[in-house]
Structure 1
Amino acid sequence: MAYEAEGPDQELEESEQESVLERFDTPNPWLQKLFSMPGYGTVPTVAIGLLREVSPDRDERLLAAVKSEHGRMRRGYLLATTKWLRWIRTFPGRADDQWGYDYKLEYKGISITKAVIILGSGDQFQTYRTRAKPFVQMVNVIQQAMMWDAAHTDQTVVEALSTPVLPAGSLSEELQKLAEMHQQGILTPEEFAAAKQKLMA
């Protein structure tokens, strides 16, 4: 559904109470970049409570939020979290939709004050132009952060699985056990050499 500029009686209310999100420690360079972006951390206060209502996952953190409309007279908040891009409808009634970060997000101005945030799925969210661009820029960085997390989680799992678990004891005992495993055919010559080198490091 494409949006057109609407009259003043259908304007989103721009003034509302805002809160500042706490930054958290992370090795993710993209989240560190997000934390340093102008405008990061200031979100509508109600968005924090809405996330807690719809998400049972206490590790899901709010990273950005914008008040918006999704379709005719459906008002709510578009939230970017550490897990999902969420739309939480607050009027009429309550509803929650979520998307992964594999969709492209862009925005387009539709009037002097309004813009539409367009999700790659075709969903569109109308909000204020001054809020749309920073939100989309932050979500683009969050997408990079999610890809970084996925790549580094996969690498950590691979490293953990490829690291031989050696019994506790002195170095000579562990070398002796490796030699026995090699002699019994449990370890190939390559595996024996790699395990020995890792043990000696």
Structure 2
Amino acid sequence: MAKIEIQVDDNILSEASRILHSLGMDVEMAVNILLRRTIIEKGLPMTMTTPSLEPRNKITRVSGRSKLKITPEMVDEVWKAFLRYINGAEELTSLSKQVSLKTGMKNGSASIYLNFLANLVNEKPNTRALKFEDVEYLMSKIRTELGDDLYRKALKSLKKSIPYWRKNLSNSFADKVEEYCEKHSS
């Protein structure tokens, strides 16, 4: 891991530290998140323009929703967090926040991934869908790291989820999952 040194005005550092502390973070965490988001967004993850002096009613609103791609690194961090959940160390809510802070993954997405995994190993159906490649990857992690018993439960969970996905998703996700289950059931 690389170490960097940054020269910052004492007043700026003090004020930033105070604000970050109120958010449960420190400067190192914030810089780490900024650098990760810069890589993900291929640029600064914030606007560099100053607010307009025009009256608010003349400003066109731009949607705040963005399509941030979930990366393999984010999925790996979700898996590491899930292992802490399985071991009884922490709750899913706090783990999703930690994944979000560490990787830049949206908290809601981290929560969906963690709950998806929890449903898999508890043999419960899922109503949310992940990228199929992520499902395959996480299923392989369940099999290799958690064993065949939980893997069989996860397969049953996927099978229980197929009717919902087939009815409610417009893509071929249900077909891919069904094919996966048929291929890996023994």
Both proteins in one fold, TM over 0.5: no
Name the structure, 1 or 2, with higher relative contact order (CA <8 Å, separation 6+).
Answer: 1
What TM-score, normalized to structure 2? 0.23
With normalisation by structure 1, the TM-score equals: 0.22
Task: Kindly indicate which of the two structures has a greater share of residues assigned to helix.
Answer: 2
Structure index of larger Rg: 1
